[in-house]
Amino acid sequence: MVNIQPIKLRNGYVIGVEVNYPKTKLLSIMAPGVGYIMCGVLNINAMDILHGEREIIAARVTGVKNFSDLLNTEVREVTRKAAEIGIKPGMTGQTALEKMLESGGILNETCKKSG
């Protein structure tokens, strides 16, 4: 089963995606057009080394079971490009997503206009 949920943050909307597999699930929250935070399955080294030319903005959060955990748990690792926009290990997932939105999230202006 796949669960997709819009999530309102202080400066815009992000999209939570939960994919349930037998005995496990994958969790991520995406700042559309910018980047994402993801559960412990995300391989930051692969993003930087194998896909460095893509300049992926991503952060890894571990020990999470739901979207609330992803938002409130500390980031463990970030890609080089995420570090360039100010995302750091130790900040919450929510703060990381808000920094992504500040850097140019595509839903940023729409959210501001609609209140």
> Tens digits of per-residue pLDDT, 83-111?
999 999 999 999 999 999 999 865 544 44
Tell me, yes or no, whether 112 lies in a domain: no
Radius of gyration of the chain from its Cα atoms, rounded to whole angstroms:
13
Contact 64, 101 (CB under 8 A): no
CATH number at residue 68: 3.30.1980.10
pLDDT at res. 105: 64
Q: What is the distance between the alpha carbons of residues 80 and 48, in angstroms, rounded to a whole number?
A: 7
Q: Alpha-carbon dihedral of residues 80, 84, 86, 92, nearest 10 degrees? A: -20
Question: How many domains, in total, are found in the chain?
Answer: 1
Tell me, yes or no, whether 114 lies in a domain: no
Q: What is the pLDDT of residues 34-58, one digit of tens each?
A: 999 999 999 999 989 988 788 899 9
Tell me, yes or no, whether 41 lies in a domain: yes
Q: What is the distance between the alpha carbons of residues 29 and 10, in angstroms, rounded to a whole number?
A: 15
Range of the domain at 53: 2-106
Tell me, yes or no, whether 46 lies in a domain: yes
Tell me, yes or no, whether 30 lies in a domain: yes
Tell me, yes or no, whether 115 lies in a domain: no
Q: What is the pTM of this model?
A: 0.87
Tell me, yes or no, whether 81 lies in a domain: yes
pLDDT at res. 111: 47
